[in-house]
Chain A
Amino acid sequence: MIKNLTCIVCPIGCNLEVEVEGNKVKRVSGNECKRGELYARSETVQPVRTLTTTVLTDDGRLLPVRTDKPIPKNLIFECMKEINRKTVSLPIKIGDVIIENIAKTGANIIASKNMG
């Protein structure tokens, strides 16, 4: 089976043609670089995404945060629920871990900004 994907690894956004047999990727074309092929493989087996959002701080402002590595796409809303329950105490430094092992994905939620 031939699947068409848009590579989301960089802003070029190559159109990928992926030949899939069952759960296996036989051939990838259309990618302008190697990362496109890796993306096609992971997208076929299990799509992952970096999640970015905000967390409420104890002074009422919002701290921008992100996952420190991509998480399975189907767990995005579960992660959002957990993040939206959280309030962090300031000060916070960029890169600080805000939630460890979010939704058992193995990824941490980290701060994208210094806030004090």
Chain B
Amino acid sequence: MKNVDLVVIGAGPAGMSAAISAYNSGAKDILILERDSELGGILQQCIHNGFGLHKFNEELTGPEYAWRYLKKVQELKIPYLLGTMVTEITKDKKIIAINPSEGIFEIQAKAIILAMGCRERSKGALNIPGSRPVGVYSAGTVQKYVNLKGYLPGNEAVILGSGDIGLIMARRMTLEGAKVKAVCEIMPYSSGLARNIQQCLNDFDIPLKLSHTVVEIHGKSRLTGVTIAKVDENLKPIMDKKEYIPCDTLLLSVGLIPENELSKNIGIEFDSVTQGPVVDQNRQTTVPGVFACGNVLHVHDLVDYVSDEAEIAGKAAAHYLNQKAGETINIPIKTDGKIRYTVPQRFTEYKNTVLYFRTANVYSNATINVRDGDKIICSKKKRKLLPATMETITLTKEMISSVNSGCMSIELEVAEND
């Protein structure tokens, strides 16, 4: 069995950034485990631009963004294993992995950073009535086919869900010669970025049908079309407002979900909203020495924020190995119904912290209040809050240490007319 101080699981943007930051903070015995055949994770198939505006003040493509980190990992000579699949992580930080050259092997780690990213939800596909012909794919699968394999899976497509990957793929398929007939979004608003609606749909006259969903899939062996319908306020399809669209491809872009199958055996606590681990300001889970960052923790809208978060986790893991951090306090953060979740979910140290959160709905002219019982310790006004946009509020060390009730809460105050 190998012994390694810090094992990073996953070499996407989170894993690479965490490893670099841990190295720069003093951890020298690091090993990154990656199941793919190259470093970079999902960025390698995201060939579009729009990455890195916050981190590098430049608009990079996915592979270019990955390269910034990949280069550093190689310069610092941080060891990594490719084609290596982790099959189990135990409570006492033993990692069981498998790869073609070593077979099954074990690593005993002192600290672990979980950076496995996320996967696409498949739920949207399950509840649509009709047959299951060839031609129904997740948007990410088509992205991989088109961008890495050069295979365009169809000529006429409908996309269900207006998440960013779906919007990006609408443009990508159009550029490669397919006709994208419609993007259906069950909600009255898109979950994708406004810029993507403009540059991926409007630029190519692809209609975005809000409050619409796919109600039936047609075709025996190959998809021949879908029936879409408008939905009412309760998201129930209005069946007399149906429309048949002939198509040979249906893309599902119905959201992402943290990939935590591996984390389940470690004994860490999970947040039922994010579906990721509960973490403190250092992105340490409820098991000391196990950290999590990036989309395995909660789904981010920008990779730049993933990198930021991974830096926090990497630095904290290095300090943990140095025994610099000691758990002293425990202040959980409660949310109201309007704010769905926060990351971190608790404080174990008085430290300046950026609190990330998402709202449950669209709100305008709202005030975000962070409270200790009745006392407001921090507040911020926002003109517009969207579920698709991750928001932040910065809490200082002093604000956190002023908490007397043992618990913090975050609430949204919305004007009556909203």
Contact = CB atoms under 8 A, between A and B. Distances in A.
Contacts, number: 69
Interface in A27-71: 49-54, 56, 62, 64, 66
Contacts of A52: 47-49, 61
Contacts of A54: 47, 147, 150
A49 B199 contact: yes
Given A13-B194, A52-B47, A80-B175, A94 B150 contact: no
Given A13-B193, A53-B175, A62 B203 contact: no
A94 B195 contact: no
B88 interface: no
B198 A64 contact: no
B149 interface: yes
A113 B147 CA distance: 13
Interface string A80-116: 1000000000000010000000000000000011100
A73 interface: yes
A62 B302 contact: no
A52 B301 CA distance: 20
Contacts of B50: 11
Nearest to A49: B199
B195 A13 contact: yes
A75 B77 CA distance: 44
A66 B198 contact: no
A10 interface: yes
Contacts of A64: 47, 61-63, 147
Interface of A: 5-11, 13, 15, 49-54, 56, 62, 64, 66, 73, 76-77, 80, 94, 112-114
Interface of B: 44, 47-50, 53, 59, 61-64, 67, 147-150, 175-176, 193-195, 197-199, 203, 301-302
Going nearest first, the 3 A-B pairs with the smallest beta carbon separation are: A13-B194, A64-B47, A8-B195
28 contacts: A6-B195, A6-B198, A7-B195, A8-B198, A9-B195, A11-B50, A13-B193, A13-B195, A15-B194, A49-B199, A49-B203, A50-B49, A52-B47, A52-B48, A52-B49, A54-B47, A54-B147, A62-B147, A62-B150, A64-B61, A64-B62, A73-B203, A77-B175, A94-B67, A112-B47, A112-B61, A112-B63, A113-B67
